[in-house]
Amino acid sequence: MDIEIINTDSEQAQADEKATAQAGTYTDDWGSVCQVTEPGVIGEVRIPILEDWSDLATFSPPWDVLRGRDLSHVKCARETSDKFLLSDISARPFERLQFLRGTENLFIDLGYGKSELYQLLEMVHVFYLEDIRGWCESDVDGIFMMDDWGSYQYLLINPTVWREIFKPRYQSVFEAVHSAGWHVWLHSDGHINAIIEDLLELDVDVLNLQQPLVNGIDEIGKRFAGRVCFESTCDIQKTLPFGSPDEIRKESRQLLDKWATSKGGFILSVYENTDDLQLPKENVALMVEIFLKHDPWL
């Protein structure tokens, strides 16, 4: 399957892309100040707009970004391409809360069950539901969502807290996508194994995991192969940037043998912008070669 990601064609999206192309600071469309240290990389929030809860009373999501955007270019892409069209990044509630509050503040909020947090989360949730409805009225095939939930060893929050606070909101988002007839495409980095069963229960269609060595190729294969479509690659932080040719061959075959099935499916992630991610082009080319050679469904 060839996939084309449809970027949001808006002035703000173009401004953000221009801002991240060079080192420096910029203000995102929610009002937080971000710093870019590596050109081409999204950067890091330095001044969260809601660092102090007293600012919540006057805060509002950037509704103008949604209500003023034009997605007519999606129709043009549909008419000229036979690729699977995937929306730009949509719902990312956990990450958005971090961008708005700051990561440390957010973890404290979750620990103490701050009432303001629930108010803010509902605002974010309603915003993303409208964002998704807009994409679902276009000609895309799938809605791309992301939240990096894992560290290298564990979920970043207690799975019980995730199920209580975030799972119901994921459910309503997934239902909105499926009711429109589209596919749910979810990316998450880190060791998220504790909630994959929950995501399958919510009928996620494609699970994008870019750190298979962190997740455990054997464990994921034994527990979930054939139950969901995976989008993955040789480990983006270990094998692909630093692996030897033999290590890339080995991991490519492991992913094919243990994650790819005729019931679930497997989609290979191929990074075209290898320079920004510091990926040796020869490593990416070798991985693609192995998959093309050994994929039984090609």
Cα(237)–Cα(259) distance, rounded to whole angstroms? Answer: 19
pLDDT tens per residue across span 81-135:
888 999 998 999 999 999 999 999 999 999 999 999 999 999 999 999 999 999 9
Residues 6+ apart with CB under 8 A from 211: 189, 190, 235, 236, 237, 238
Cα(147)–Cα(96) distance, rounded to whole angstroms? Answer: 9
CB 147 within 8 A of CB 92: yes
Percentage of the chain beyond pLDDT 90 is 75
**Closest CA relative to residue 133, chosen from 179, 99, 74:** 179
pLDDT tens per residue across span 224-269:
999 999 999 999 999 999 999 999 999 999 999 999 998 889 999 9
Tokens of 273: 């912008």
For 3-8+50-209, CATH gives 3.20.20.210
What SS3 string covers 64-117? HHHHCCCCHHHHHHHHHCCCEEEEEECCCHHHHHHHHHCHHHHHHHHHHCCHHH
pLDDT tens per residue across span 5-40:
776 655 556 666 677 777 888 899 999 999 988 776
> For the whole model, what pTM was predicted?
0.93
**What pLDDT score was predicted for residue 73?**
86
Domain boundaries, the chain: 3-8+50-209
